[in-house]
Structure 1
């Protein structure tokens, strides 16, 4: 279990988090600590409270019990240092790629030239250079999700929360985006919490995997350190051993 004493230098500290919606208990006694620049994957089935946990960390929901801290500051409302990438493409259809990526900077009244420079940097980082003037309807699913990642990065968050961002993609595009996610994270490190229900995706991406037990209320289960060098191969023997261990361990809880 993730039960550990709260360290002083963690980027995210969730202590005793529970959440009720009316009579429905969605999360119970969640203790989660994430180090700076760590890539942590929360692995669990649908309807296990994963998205609610992320919304609490981002300050978009208030826990029924417990506290969330970003560094040493308790979260009490929408947290500007947290970027959020959703499973659904949340792009403005009337905005170009550039318009979508620079939107948060524009809302901050950043001068045009400066925000365009920042937006262009992240458009290039996610591999969309040349598509600045394209609209969402002209992009593939993988390209739309790249725009979402670029937009989140452009706001210069300390923490990225990624809620099953590749869940709607076909298998081939999903693998490509997993590879791209590692490349982007290694190029510009952020503390990342990533939700998935896919064991292979969790092993490919994470420094650490934490299971969330199935059926409400969601409770944290086992934690796994992923001590595999990058880039990782899905067919590597150590990768397959870890996959089998997680599969065996979670058979009764996911």
Structure 2
């Protein structure tokens, strides 16, 4: 069986080189991503920050192998991505749970499809249900859960596949402000407990500064272009009222097309 990954020189966990994306052709052509290079380190928490219609989700879909770039390549551990694979876990903005399955049934789906025995996949699923703080809700169905709890299930389900990389595409965009802050805190707790390389898309500056080791901003008009890169040298856990936090937040605000 042909591998979905082709051998390339290893430099970063993820390398996007000469990447661009256009849809349509001739008079109907829409350029979504301008040519860009983006590299992500092992276990880094990278945040991609940009307004709507800046190509963020398209970039993520290309990184996950769900879209084919018009030019350029994506590599993971030096191997070219040519399609979706188990090395990447993806969490979407909209809840993508199976409504007819319980929390446990949703989380164990990936291990089940991989052929793990029932007792083994239950053990894996329970570990991640506990990790995201849903112990006691194993037999609840999605309609019985709040929005924040549904995203916890989505995160647990992605982790249960044991991916090398987690891609989170504006996962908290539908949550109220208080729940969003709680989920940001939980995301860092989970990441610190089980380190993975994480790429996180958002249009929220405070969220980006709170979460990221590094922030990459995209310009606000199509085609999306890499604009600025910010190294976030702030200790964790981070405080939204800390002076250095506020300075970086203001700097990004001044240099981007985003508003607080």
TM over 0.5: yes
Q: Give the conservation status (yes or no) of the 8 Å contact 2:45–2:213.
A: yes
Normalised TM-score (structure 2): 0.93
Find the counterpart in structure 2 of residue 4 from structure 1. Answer: none
Alignment of 1:46-195 (within 5 A): 46-195=52-201
Q: Give the conservation status (yes or no) of the 8 Å contact 1:58–1:82.
A: yes
- In the alignment, is residue 208 of structure 1 matched against residue 214 of structure 2? yes
Distance 2:171 2:257 in 1: 24
Q: Give the conservation status (yes or no) of the 8 Å contact 1:16–1:65.
A: yes
**Structure 1 residue ranges (4+ consecutive) displaced by more than 3 angstroms after TM superposition:** 251-254
Q: 2:225 aligns with which of 210, 219, 224?
A: 219
Normalised TM-score (structure 1): 0.96
Counterpart secondary structure, 1:210: strand
List gaps (5 residues or longer) in structure 2. Answer: 1-8
Distance 1:17 1:80 in 2: 22
Evaluate the alpha carbon distance shift between residue 94 and residue 244 of structure 1 in structure 2; reply closer, same or farther with a 3 A threshold. Answer: same
Alignment of 1:2-41 (within 5 A): 8-22=10-24, 23-41=29-47
Distance 1:155 1:212 in 2: 30
Q: Give the conservation status (yes or no) of the 8 Å contact 1:209–1:226.
A: yes
Counterpart secondary structure, 1:245: helix
Residue correspondences, number: 249
Evaluate the alpha carbon distance shift between residue 253 and residue 16 of structure 1 in structure 2; reply closer, same or farther with a 3 A threshold. Answer: farther
Q: Can you list the C-alpha shifts for 1:79-110, whole angstroms capped at 9, x where unaligned?
A: 22000000000000000000000001111121
Distance 1:30 1:160 in 2: 21
Q: CA RMSD in A?
A: 1.6
Distance 2:63 2:83 in 1: 10
Find the counterpart in structure 1 of residue 5 from structure 2. Answer: none
